[in-house]
Amino acid sequence: VALLFYSGTDRNGTFEASFRSALKKVAPSLEVRTWPELGDANDIRFAALWLPPENLFSKLPNLTHIFALSAGVDKLLQASDLPQDVPIYRLLDGGMATPMSEYVLLGVLQAQRQLQVLAEAQQQKLWKRDTDEPQAKDWHVGILGAGVLAQAAAQRLVANGYPVSTWSRSHKNTALNTLVCLLPLTPNTANILNSRLFDQLPTGASLINAARGEHCVDDDLIAALDRGQISSALLDVFREEPLPAEHLFWSHPKITITPHIAAPTSADVSARYVAEGVANALAGTQPAGLVNRHSGY
Amino acid sequence: VALLFYSGTDRNGTFEASFRSALKKVAPSLEVRTWPELGDANDIRFAALWLPPENLFSKLPNLTHIFALSAGVDKLLQASDLPQDVPIYRLLDGGMATPMSEYVLLGVLQAQRQLQVLAEAQQQKLWKRDTDEPQAKDWHVGILGAGVLAQAAAQRLVANGYPVSTWSRSHKNTALNTLVCLLPLTPNTANILNSRLFDQLPTGASLINAARGEHCVDDDLIAALDRGQISSALLDVFREEPLPAEHLFWSHPKITITPHIAAPTSADVSARYVAEGVANALAGTQPAGLVNRHSGY
């Protein structure tokens, strides 16, 4: 019995090294192989994956459990050779709740305390005091999403004095200062950050997207920023990653770009989750985090 | 019996208007005058002041209580005509604890999450992922200061997962990632942020100064930033405010400037504090916040 590990963004192998080392501690007898060195592929029953290559699944005839090394499984579900009958599990926390709630809090603090406006003033060497500085208690944050990460972000914001509401297409809160997208990416949520939604927000609202690039219609966001409907955007995710050098987001004065680092997966926590999942599987019980393929999360 | 109001930074009179309106609610019988319209100066027993002009005190022969509209009284104590026998009171909170703790948290989050490095990467359209992103629990914050604002900032940081210690010249913590200056400005603390102190910090520590510009030796800070001893600085206070356009801080790539907005004094809270102080004074009891002129706070 073996597990296949693959991470599509672990360029220097540091995540794999940490993951292997942590897994060795909690599941010393589990053999771990790394794509593309499969050995006898018939042994491989488990896979722990982030952004797997296209032809991976067709080489694994005896796979019984797929562990996504991520909270979102949108890319995984799109794999053309994904076996239809193998259950997929996703990281419900993976050490991501803390960094994600930090990231969202940081973005909200920057918006509330008008750091973008002050940074532009600094470039002009302008001492710009706004006597009407908004207070946290009056800075309304809407969160798109209701999963583990969205809940953690909401709790962190509330603990720091912000009124927080869950925002949905049916339950809109029009008195909103910052909108945070933490949705899973599904056919229902793709392109949700578009002109129509931006126009429903109060003029000057700010945006944080830490979910998936495909949630956002890039041209609509640039247009909303340029006409002042959206005052600033903090973006961690993009349709193509790394974000191509020619993309307009890079140099837009109202956009802050971070390279998909809002909630990095912890190798230690991932290893524990995979080890527990494998232990459950071997004992014949269901691992945590089973994905509903129909809903997409 | 009258009170004289003066604020040296209330250019458009909005603070005065809010202060007068709030004071009217809590102390309707108190007559409020505004410098330089003194009327009969003999009536004036109370003064509520921020950055008063040089000749103010010599025009007020019957002053019995001076209320500083600030946490720091350094400038007030330097007034050449300050009466030696009139007690001075300072704002121990003034609504400043919440915004100050927000500001410090924002600065620490920006440093921990490497926003400065990512902003520089964005300018170069560079997708820069650091796999060794530090966690809050490993990001040590040292606070210079132990007053109401320093305590509020420390509590907020601890609540958000940061290990916090009080840093002093005698109790140094060398494993420090961010140093926050929230000291009162006194002859003992002036110029404390200098090359010697910077060299005692670990290489690459970041600095937040939200106390007074005179705490910082500007040339030493620039030198420490340029040699990488300090990685970034968030500065809210300066030796001269507004910061002169020719000052090197404005265009330094590692310095973020905010225009003394970390902890704005709330007109409402100030009015309540002054009204309570006046009520105490008229009843013959001591108002809160008495300044020890020897210690300077």
Mean pLDDT of chain B: 94
Residue in chain B closest to A267 (alpha carbons) equals: B131
Residue closest to A87 by CA, chosen among A103, A113, A68: A68
Test A119 with B256 for CB contact under 8 angstroms: yes
Confirm if A172 and A196 have CB atoms less than 8 A apart.
no
Does A17 contact chain B (CB < 8 Å)? no
Name chain A contacts of B258, Cβ cutoff 8 Å: 113, 115, 118
Measured in angstroms, the CA of A101 and the nearest CA of chain B are apart by 10
Q: Is the pLDDT of residue A276 over 90?
A: yes
Confirm if A258 and A233 have CB atoms less than 8 A apart.
no
Q: Which residue type occupies B102? A: E
Does B13 contact chain A (CB < 8 Å)? no
Name chain B contacts of A235, Cβ cutoff 8 Å: none
Name chain B contacts of A119, Cβ cutoff 8 Å: 256
The string over B129-142, giving b where at least 16 C-beta atoms fall within 10 Å of a residue's C-beta and e elsewhere, is beeeeeebeebbbb
Q: Is the pLDDT of residue A170 over 80?
A: no
Q: ipTM greater than 0.85, yes or no?
A: yes
Name chain A contacts of B256, Cβ cutoff 8 Å: 115, 119, 122
C-alpha–C-alpha distance, residues A119 and A113, integer Å: 11
User: What kind and span of H or E run contains A103?
Assistant: helix A97-112
Position A89 scores a pLDDT of 97
Q: Is A29 exposed, middle or buried (0-12, 13-18, 19+ CB in 10 A)?
A: exposed
Q: Is the pLDDT of residue A166 over 90?
A: no
**How far are the Cα atoms of A41, A81, A242, B31, B234 from residue A54, in angstroms, in the given order?**
16, 7, 19, 79, 46
User: Catalytic residue among B90, B212, B215, B272, which?
Assistant: B212
Nearest to A14 among B110, B131, B161 (CB): B131
C-alpha–C-alpha distance, residues A79 and A59, integer Å: 13
Confirm if B120 and B93 have CB atoms less than 8 A apart.
no
Interface of B with A in 140-179 (CB under 8 A): 156, 159-161
Name chain A contacts of B133, Cβ cutoff 8 Å: 99, 261, 264
Name chain A contacts of B131, Cβ cutoff 8 Å: 10, 12, 14-15, 264
C-alpha–C-alpha distance, residues B154 and B167, integer Å: 12
Position B169 scores a pLDDT of 65
Could you tell me how many CB contacts below 8 A there are between chain A and chain B? 111
Position A172 scores a pLDDT of 67
What's the whole-model pTM score? 0.92
- Span of A1-5, A10-14, B221-225 with lowest mean pLDDT: A10-14
**How far are the Cα atoms of A68, A86, A214, A277, B247 from residue A293, in angstroms, in the given order?**
13, 11, 18, 18, 59
Test A127 with B243 for CB contact under 8 angstroms: yes
Name chain B contacts of A99, Cβ cutoff 8 Å: 133, 135
A51 φψ region: left (φ > 0), alpha (ψ -120 to 50), beta (else):
left
Residue closest to A100 by CA, chosen among A51, A154, A160: A154
Query: To probe the interface with B, which of A115, A125, A232 has the most B CB atoms within 10 Å?
Result: A125
Q: Is the pLDDT of residue A234 over 90?
A: yes
| DSSP secondary structure letters along B80-127 | TT--TTS-EE--S-TT-HHHHHHHHHHHHHHHHTTHHHHHHHHHTT--
Q: How does residue A265 score in pLDDT terms, banded at 50, 70 and 90?
A: confident
Test A264 with B102 for CB contact under 8 angstroms: no
What is the percentage of chain A residues whose pLDDT exceeds 70?
97
How many CB atoms neighbour CB B262 within 10 A? Answer: 27
* Eight-class DSSP state of B5: E
Measured in angstroms, the CA of A223 and the nearest CA of chain B are apart by 20
Position A167 scores a pLDDT of 78
Please give the average per-residue pLDDT across A48-56, as a whole number.
Answer: 94
Test B259 with A129 for CB contact under 8 angstroms: yes
- Residue pLDDT tens, chain B, 297 long: 999 999 999 888 999 999 999 999 989 999 999 999 999 999 999 999 999 999 999 999 999 999 999 999 999 999 999 999 999 999 987 789 999 999 999 999 999 999 999 999 999 999 998 656 799 999 999 999 999 999 999 999 999 999 999 877 666 666 899 999 999 999 999 999 999 999 999 999 999 999 999 999 999 999 999 999 999 999 999 999 999 999 999 999 999 999 999 998 889 999 999 999 999 999 999 999 999 999 999
Please give the average per-residue pLDDT across A47-74, as a whole number.
Answer: 96
Interface of A with B in 88-107 (CB under 8 A): 98-99, 102-103, 105-106
Which residues of A form the catalytic set?
Answer: 212, 260
Test A99 with B258 for CB contact under 8 angstroms: no
Say what angle helices B97-112 and A97-112 make with each other, to 10 degrees: 120
Test B132 with A9 for CB contact under 8 angstroms: no
Test B251 with A131 for CB contact under 8 angstroms: no
Q: Is the pLDDT of residue A252 over 80?
A: yes
Test A125 with B245 for CB contact under 8 angstroms: yes
Mean pLDDT of chain A: 94
Residue in chain A closest to B263 (alpha carbons) equals: A133
Position B35 scores a pLDDT of 93
Q: Is the pLDDT of residue A168 over 80?
A: no
Q: The dihedral of CA A16, A19, A22, A26: what is its sign?
A: negative
Please give the average per-residue pLDDT across A158-169, as a whole number.
Answer: 90
Does A82 contact chain B (CB < 8 Å)? no
For B237-253, write each residue's pLDDT tens digit. 999 999 999 999 999 99
C-alpha–C-alpha distance, residues A83 and A19, integer Å: 25
Query: To probe the interface with A, which of B14, B18, B103, B125 has the most A CB atoms within 10 Å?
Result: B125
CA dihedral of A36, A41, A45, A46, whole degrees rounded to 10:
0
C-alpha–C-alpha distance, residues A103 and A96, integer Å: 10
Q: How does residue A43 score in pLDDT terms, banded at 50, 70 and 90?
A: very high
Name chain B contacts of A127, Cβ cutoff 8 Å: 241-243, 259
Q: Is the pLDDT of residue A123 over 90?
A: yes
For A184-218, write each residue's pLDDT tens digit. 999 999 999 999 999 999 999 999 999 999 999 99
| Token pair for B223 | 């030198």
For A212-230, write each residue's pLDDT tens digit. 999 999 999 999 999 999 9
Confirm if B225 and B252 have CB atoms less than 8 A apart.
yes
Which residues have a Cβ under 8 Å from the Cβ of B65 and sit 6 or more positions away?
Answer: B45, B46, B47, B86, B87, B89, B277, B278, B281, B287
Nearest to B161 among A98, A245, A257 (CB): A98
User: Catalytic residue among B260, B272, B293, B294, which?
Assistant: B260
Q: What is the tally of helices (H) and strands (E) in chain A?
A: 8, 11
Residues for chain A: how many in total?
A: 297
User: Does a cis peptide bond (omega within 30 degrees of 0) precede residue A184?
Assistant: no
B169 is catalytic: no
